[in-house]
């Protein structure tokens, strides 16, 4: 009489164990035969059919296991591929570097190097030339452009690549070795949808050797507005005062993006554009936005040769602490001792930024003795006065 399926399942491990010692029937074959003929699969299917949630959990578990195995294999494959690529690059660099040295300093013909550069090694070769370009100076640096010449046309095909990194790298390398040749492509790169590519082109075209390229740079500022205003302004300042009229127009335009107006103000400051002082005073009469008032005050503080303190005084009472602080600093830069009472009152301001600027204003206008008196007075302003005297 056959045992029930449950009994056969329960005794299955013991049967396999006993069968493992039999020489005429391998245990694995016996297991497969027992499970297929005995209906074990059918039994588990019946169990899962009656418990759909258990079946779903089983499928999810199997999926996760398969996913983990796939990701593990993918990680191993990627690691091996990267190692192979690194070894290939190191081997090529080791082979080509003596030839580069001979080309630069021993008059080795360029053809001798080109013969060693296969189609698959062109990218590595250009990257190696880039590294040399960063280290060399003078004629040796310029001669690298000759070595890069055969590969620049292929770079041009990458200017429209779908990948941002590929476009940026191609434009940077092409301009590095033959900048004037690729000016049209660099101008087109200023309209690229990626700020990374735009910045690469902006860095190159903002150099003094491109004095006629002004408006394209101004138009591209909208794509760089989220980058550091200080950095972008420092790039623009290399163009000199020829950009000042356009920058003044940007700074004074209330409809323009605030970030772009800030960049314009910082660039005018770097250019020491004295005509922007009157513009800043006009802006102070009209603007209420903190991010525009502060750059305007900064321009007046750094550049104004005249006494314009009467126009600045109202901002020392602004409800915004940043404006009060910058107003005090601007008044102090005008060396107006008659505002010392204002500085003393500002030492009791609720904002530590304002009290700090008030103490600095007293120091910068030659009021050290008064600052010492305040530091010994035991008033709430004594501590900031003492710190200012000790640190300056």
Residue 59's pLDDT is: 82
Residue at which a domain ends, from 258, 277, 306: 306
Residue predicted with more confidence, 272 or 7: 272
Can you give the pTM of this predicted structure?
A: 0.72
Number of domains making up the chain: 2
Check whether residue 234 and residue 293 sit in a common domain.
Answer: yes
| Residue pLDDT, tens place only, 88-104 | 878 888 888 888 888 88
Tell me whether residue 370 is in a domain. Answer: yes
User: Could you tell me the residue range of the domain that residue 353 belongs to?
Assistant: 316-392
Tell me whether residue 192 is in a domain. Answer: no
Tell me whether residue 68 is in a domain. Answer: no
Residue predicted with more confidence, 30 or 120: 120
Pseudo-torsion of CA 29, 34, 37, 43, nearest 10°?
-130
Residue at which a domain ends, from 246, 279, 306: 306
| Residue pLDDT, tens place only, 273-282 | 999 999 999 9
Check whether residue 256 and residue 280 sit in a common domain.
Answer: yes
Tell me whether residue 267 is in a domain. Answer: yes
Residue 216's pLDDT is: 93
Q: Which of 54-68, 106-120, 314-328, 365-379 has the highest mean pLDDT?
A: 314-328
Tell me whether residue 230 is in a domain. Answer: yes
φ and ψ at 246, to 5 degrees?
A: -65, -35
Report, in angstroms and rounded to the nearest whole number, the Rg of the chain calculated over CA atoms. 37
Residue predicted with more confidence, 385 or 262: 262
Check whether residue 351 and residue 295 sit in a common domain.
Answer: no
Tell me whether residue 359 is in a domain. Answer: yes
For residue 330, give the CATH number of its domain. 1.25.10
Check whether residue 302 and residue 321 sit in a common domain.
Answer: no
Residue at which a domain ends, from 264, 288, 306: 306
Nearest to 365 by CA among 386, 338, 327, 385: 338
Tell me whether residue 380 is in a domain. Answer: yes
């Amino acid at each position: 009489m056959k045992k029930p399926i449950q009994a056969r399942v329960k005794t299955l491990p013991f049967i396999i164990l006993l069968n493992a010692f039999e020489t005429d029937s391998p245990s694995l074959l016996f297991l497969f035969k027992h499970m297929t003929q005995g209906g074990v699969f059918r039994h588990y299917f019946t169990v899962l059919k009656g418990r759909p949630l258990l079946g779903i959990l089983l499928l999810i578990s199997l999926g996760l296991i398969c996913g983990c195995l796939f990701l593990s294999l993918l990680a191993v494959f990627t690691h091996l591929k990267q190692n192979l690529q690194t070894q290939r690059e190191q081997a090529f660099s080791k082979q080509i570097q003596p030839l580069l040295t001979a080309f630069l300093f021993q008059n080795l013909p360029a053809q001798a190097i080109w013969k060693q550069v296969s189609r698959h090694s062109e990218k590595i070769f250009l990257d190696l030339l880039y590294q040399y370009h960063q280290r060399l100076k003078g004629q040796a640096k310029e001669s690298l452009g000759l070595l890069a010449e055969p590969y620049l046309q292929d770079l041009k095909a990458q200017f429209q690549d779908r990948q941002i990194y590929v476009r940026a790298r191609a434009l940077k390398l092409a301009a590095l070795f033959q900048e004037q040749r690729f000016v049209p492509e660099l101008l087109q790169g200023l309209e690229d949808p990626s700020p990374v590519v735009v910045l690469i082109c902006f860095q190159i075209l903002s150099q003094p050797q491109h004095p006629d390229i002004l408006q394209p740079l101004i138009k591209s500022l909208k794509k760089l507005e989220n980058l550091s205003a200080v950095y972008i302004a420092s790039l623009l300042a290399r163009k000199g005062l020829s950009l000042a009229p356009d920058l003044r127009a940007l700074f004074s335009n209330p409809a323009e993006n605030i970030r772009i107006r800030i960049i314009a103000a910082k660039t005018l400051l770097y250019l020491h554009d004295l005509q922007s002082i009157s513009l800043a005073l006009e802006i102070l009469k009209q603007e209420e936005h903190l991010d525009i008032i502060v750059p305007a005050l900064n321009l007046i503080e750094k550049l104004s040769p005249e006494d314009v303190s009467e126009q600045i005084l109202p901002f020392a009472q602004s409800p915004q602490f940043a404006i009060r602080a910058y107003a005090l600093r601007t008044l102090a830069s005008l060396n107006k001792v008659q505002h010392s009472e204002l500085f003393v009152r500002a030492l009791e301001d609720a904002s530590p930024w304002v009290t700090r600027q008030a103490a600095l204003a007293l120091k910068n206008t030659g009021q050290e003795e008064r600052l010492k008196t305040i530091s010994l007075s035991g008033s709430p302003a004594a501590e900031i006065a003492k710190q200012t005297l000790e640190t300056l």
